Amino acid sequence: MLREVLAERLAFEGFAVAMAEGDPQAHLLLRERRFDLILTDLFVPSTERGAARISALREAAGPIPLVVMTGTWLGRQITAEELGATDLFFKPFNSEDLVARLADLLRSPLVT
């Protein structure tokens, strides 16, 4: 599964990684811990969908970078700004590009 592969790659690159099985677990983690960045998929089974999901995560997480991945074609090109995200990666993407972008976001001043 992509989640496990990315978590392994990010941990190898020195990122501290926490994974959630879905939005209920993600929201619980956000209440219990402080995170520097969120990486999520636009569509997760059995949860809110799309922009509503990202909006709920944004509200729960506060002003931290929120990077969204999607492999779904929505009939038109969407932007990170439309979703309320910091950045958007369309699958398939190069994991080196993702790692570099996440590292840049963590080095930057507050970016939402």
Residue 32 has pLDDT above 70, yes or no: yes
Read off the pLDDT of each residue in 7-13 and give the average, rounded to a whole number. Answer: 95
Q: What is the pTM of this model?
A: 0.88
Asked whether residue 30 is assigned to any structural domain, the reply reads yes
Asked whether residue 79 is assigned to any structural domain, the reply reads yes
Asked whether residue 6 is assigned to any structural domain, the reply reads no
| Structural domain span for residue 94 | 20-106
Instruction: Convert the pLDDT of each residue in 58-112 to its tens digit.
Output: 999 999 999 999 887 665 677 888 888 999 998 889 999 999 999 999 998 655 4
pLDDT of residue 1: 72
- Whole-number Å distance between alpha carbons of 12 and 16: 9
Give the chain's domain count: 1
Asked whether residue 2 is assigned to any structural domain, the reply reads no
Q: How high is the mean pLDDT of the chain? A: 87
pLDDT of residue 82: 84
Query: What is the separation of C-alpha 5 from the centre of its chain, rounded to a whole number of angstroms?
Result: 15
Asked whether residue 14 is assigned to any structural domain, the reply reads no
Per-residue H/E/C for 15-57: CCCCCCCCHHHHHHHHHHCCCCCEEEECECCCCCEHHHHHHHH
Instruction: Report the side by side order of strands in the sheet with 66-70.
Output: 38-41, 66-70, 87-90
Q: Please report which confidence band the pLDDT of residue 53 belongs to, taking 50, 70 and 90 as the band edges.
A: confident
CATH number of 45's domain: 3.40.50.2300
pLDDT of residue 47: 65
The encoded tokens of residue 61 equal 């997480």
